[in-house]
Amino acid sequence: MDAVYFDNYAATPLHPRVKEAMHRIVDEVFGNPSSDHRFGQAAAEALDTARKQTANLINAEPEEIVFTSGGTESVNHAIKGVAFSQREKGRHIITTNIEHKSVLNCLRTLRLLDYHITSLDVDEYGLVDPAAVEKAITDQTVLITIQLANNEIGTLQPIADIAKIARHKKVVFHTDAVAAAGIIPIDVKALDVDLLSLAANQFNGPNGVGALYVKRGTPIWPLLEGGVQENRKRAGTENVVGIVGLGVAAEMAWLESHERLEKFRTLRRKLIDGLNARIPHLKFNGHPTQVLPHLVSVSVEFIEGEGLMLLLDEEGICVATRSACASGSLRASHVLIGTGMDFALAQGTLLITLGRDNTEAEVDRLLEVMPRVVQTLRDMSPIYQKNVAA
Amino acid sequence: MYSPTVLDHFKNPRNVGEIAEADGVGEVGNPVCGDMINVYLKVKDDVIEDIKFKTFGCGAAIAVSSMLTELAKGKTLDEAMKITNKDVAEALEGLPKNKLHCSNLGADALHAAIKNYRDRQAQKAVPGEAEKVPHIPEKVDACYCPYCDMENKGQAEFCVSCGADLPHEH
């Protein structure tokens, strides 16, 4: 039996059309897009097409798209780029407690450079209050950076409301939309954000390529400096093969949006209802309705997530965990702790993310296997019987 | 990421469970810091006749518990007191650098169970009560980054040289 892949937040299988387009570029186009001869221009044309496709996914203008090496670079560019550009105006940045690590660590670096960071609390669902954002703005504030969708619990933030406040107060607003772009419809004009980060590997494009949307007129310093590529915003010869992959993935996400959303919603419902019916002592995380349609975050009481992930892998089912032990940093997830969850429960959290290729039969297999695996670990756990008896 | 021996002990853990009328019980760690190992002993003529464990923790913590019980079974109490965390990690053919702290709990749980047995013999502990070691993080003045070996302040959240997160649990 084939292995089942439920870790689509980590990476997604390439869409057949993406594979096809990337193969064609590998075979036919090697030129440097900055060269004015025909070899270079063939590559430049491929970039132009990808730029239009990517812009279309989020209703941006093609010249507002900067290609990057992925979500992390996009976020780094947005945050450091605005901070460096606006250093004379002020050194205050607003964010939330549950952002992606790339945001947290950029802000950590800026703290060392004497920037002041206000990190806002979120509620039990991970929602930030737009009024709290407004209250935190000072005359020193140069940037607000808040994710569109949380990558661990799926909660969607009220980005349009926050953008309105930022616009009114004339503060640049970046939204990290990596977990959401290509999954749910995004319109940068309707949201009215200045900067938006996205990554191809979230929607059946290749790893290691992404884009930063930069609304025309947004003050931003380059992160990578050198030549004049990407409208002087991102130096370095472009990853043409990857960018072509991103472009086609964006086009396919746009074209297949409706059917993918239908599928995600059906499978997610089945998954949550099925797990709830089969396994006692579960907690589902994130907002009940304002949530990504393809993500299920579930905390399994009395056990630790890494063991659960490894045993599921042994059964041919691949999911992710947010337990401290598996995180590399050995700390419990700051997102789950940020929503007020206790450390012990956070340790037992699995992250199941669906993709366009998943099927109902695969969800059935998870529902069949997971109760058994959970019971094996609970029987091994010193805190299980004590708690269940009590 | 894990050695074949670690994976074997994680997937087929030896000596899982509790001993109903245990002669000594050691409880180390707690679920809040990520790992908790309970060790139960049956002792006869100063020899560990039976040993079982229950563990809340990652793959490494479960493998450490399993290997530990194999190493300790049949040993005299004095011999078992000499088993170190390093012995367990070595018997497992190594643990990833960021998982070495898991092995630190293993031998500590065994030693706590032996202490508990001896205290019961000396009537310093009541049967049915475990020897509990909560594993509070140590307060230290300085620590070394496990990734780049740079010296950092004791409670630094991240390494000043390479930016890596510095764990302080265990």
DSSP codes joined into one string, A219-276:
----SS-SS-TGGGTS-S---HHHHHHHHHHHHHHHHTHHHHHHHHHHHHHHHHHHHH
Q: In order along chain A (390 residues), what is the average pLDDT of each group of 10 residues?
A: 93 98 97 96 98 98 98 98 97 97 96 96 98 98 98 97 98 98 98 98 98 97 95 96 98 98 98 98 97 97 93 96 62 88 90 97 98 96 81
Amino acid (1-letter code) at residue A6: F
Do B131 and B143 belong together in one domain?
A: no
Are B150 and B71 members of one domain?
no
pLDDT on residue A43: 98
Inter-chain residue contact B31 with A329, CB threshold 8 Å: no
For the ranges A267-276, A321-330, B20-29, B83-92, the lowest mean pLDDT is seen at A321-330
Domain that holds residue B169: 139-170
Cα A148 to the chain's mean position, in Å? 9
Q: What share of chain A is helix, strand, coil (3-state, %, to 5)?
A: 45, 15, 40
The reply to whether B76 and B125 lie within a common domain is yes
Among A166-180, B25-39, B143-157, the range with the most confident prediction by mean pLDDT is A166-180
A325 vs A374: CA distance, rounded Å: 18
Chain A hits for B57, Cβ within 8 Å = 304, 307, 325
Shared domain check, B60 and B124:
yes
Tell me the CATH number at B31.
3.90.1010.10
| B97 backbone dihedrals φ, ψ, rounded to 5° | -50, -45
Enumerate the residues of chain A whose CB falls inside 8 A of the CB of residue B26: none
Nearest-CA residue of chain B relative to A337? B32
pLDDT of residue B170: 33
Amino acid sitting at position A122: V
Can you give the pLDDT at residue A385? 81
Q: Is the pLDDT of residue B133 over 90?
A: no
Identify which has the larger pLDDT, A369 or B2.
Answer: A369
Per cent of chain B over pLDDT 70 is 89
Contact B165 A330 (CB under 8 A): yes
**A323 near B34, Cβ under 8 Å?**
yes
List chain B residues with CB under 8 Å of A378: none
Is B148 among the catalytic positions? no
Please list the helix, strand and coil fractions of chain B in percent, rounded to the nearest 5, in that order: 35, 25, 40
Q: What is the pLDDT at residue B136?
A: 55
The answer to whether the beta carbons of residues A257 and A293 sit under 8 Å apart is no
Q: What is the DSSP string of B109-152?
A: HHHHHHHHHHHHHTTSS-TT--EEE--PPPP-SEEE-TTT--EE
Task: Output the six-digit token pair for A284.
Answer: 């589902």
Q: Which of B38, B25, B53, B47 is nearest to B125 (CA)?
A: B25
pLDDT reported for residue A301: 95
Residues B144 and B66 in one domain: no
- Clarify whether residues B33 and B117 are in a common domain: yes
- Looking at the structure, tell me whether residues B33 and B87 fall in a common domain: yes
Residues of A contacting chain B (CB within 8 angstroms): 105, 108-109, 302-304, 306-307, 310-311, 314, 323-326, 328-332, 342-344, 347, 379-383
d(CA A105, CA A93): 13
For chain B, the average pLDDT equals 86
Q: Are residues B66 and B123 in the same domain?
A: yes
Confidence check: pLDDT of B17 > 80:
yes
CA–CA gap between residue A180 and residue A147 (Å, rounded): 9
One domain, residues B80 and B105 = yes
ipTM of this model? 0.84
The number of angstroms, rounded, from the C-alpha of A35 to the middle of its chain's C-alpha atoms is 34
Tell me what the mean pLDDT of segment B51-72 comes to.
94
- Is the same domain home to B66 and B28? yes
- Give chain B's domain count: 2
Question: Does residue B140 have a pLDDT over 80?
Answer: no
- B93 plus B121 within the same structural domain: yes
Is residue B126 located within the same domain as residue B164?
no
Closest CA to B60 of B31, B41, B84, B34: B34
Per-position b or e across A250-266, b if 16+ CB within 10 A of its CB: bbbbbeebeebeebbee
Q: Is B85 exposed, middle or buried (0-12, 13-18, 19+ CB in 10 A)?
A: buried
Q: Which of A42, A165, A224, A325 is catalytic?
A: A325
CA atoms within 13 A on the CB side of A389: 5
